[in-house]
Amino acid sequence: MMSPAGGRHGRVAHNLGLVLGSHVRDADLGIVYAAETGFLLSRDPDTVRAPDVAFVSHPRLQEIEDDVGYLPLAPDLVGEAISPSDTFSDVEEKALAWLAAGTRMVLLVEPAHGTVHVYRAADNIIVLDSDAELDASDVVTGWQFAVRELFK
């Protein structure tokens, strides 16, 4: 069992969901899932992960029969707000596991420093500060935003 996240974590995760969700809905690109949505990444043993925010495109959603249980795929994009109790090495390990499972982009949002770590591959990681623009249109068509929007 895990303890609930704190206020700053919840605010930042929600802001990421709002920024992503508004764009995805307006452009009709797929579905954005909130925290606690389980994604079944492997079997025997079963590995289920639940990111703070996830995006799955319409074409990928056609791969599954229904969405009542855990979604049996890796999202196209995963966003995680880093909590004060998280170690960066643990969070980075999860980011790399998402990529290995087939996720195309992982965003690790670090509220304490106002940064976003963008993982496209184990050897393609960039860090953006709050003055930067994030261009994720290679994964979510047309999605660009000011990083500062996450920390309001």
Task: Return the residue matching tokens 């009709």.
Answer: 28
d(CA 112, CA 101): 28
Domain span at residue 141 reads: 7-151
pLDDT at 6: 83
The count of domains in the chain is 1
pLDDT at 84: 87
Please report, for the domain that includes residue 19, its CATH number. Answer: 3.90.1570.10
pLDDT at 36: 87
pLDDT at 73: 95
Instruction: Tell whether 65 is covered by a domain.
Output: yes
Instruction: Tell whether 28 is covered by a domain.
Output: yes
Instruction: Tell whether 1 is covered by a domain.
Output: no
Instruction: Tell whether 86 is covered by a domain.
Output: yes
Instruction: Tell whether 2 is covered by a domain.
Output: no
Instruction: Tell whether 75 is covered by a domain.
Output: yes
pLDDT at 1: 52
d(CA 147, CA 142): 15
Instruction: Tell whether 146 is covered by a domain.
Output: yes
Q: Which sign does the torsion angle of CA 115, 146, 8, 102 carry?
A: negative
Residue 36 neighbours by CB distance under 10 Å: 8
Instruction: Tell whether 137 is covered by a domain.
Output: yes
Residue 124, strand partner residues: 121
Tens digit of pLDDT per residue, the chain (152 long)? 567 778 898 999 999 999 999 999 999 999 999 988 999 999 989 999 999 999 999 999 998 888 889 999 999 999 999 998 889 899 999 999 999 999 999 999 999 999 999 999 999 999 999 999 999 999 999 999 999 999 99
Q: Is 90 helix (H, G, I), strand (E, B) or coil?
A: helix
pTM of the model: 0.94
d(CA 121, CA 152): 28
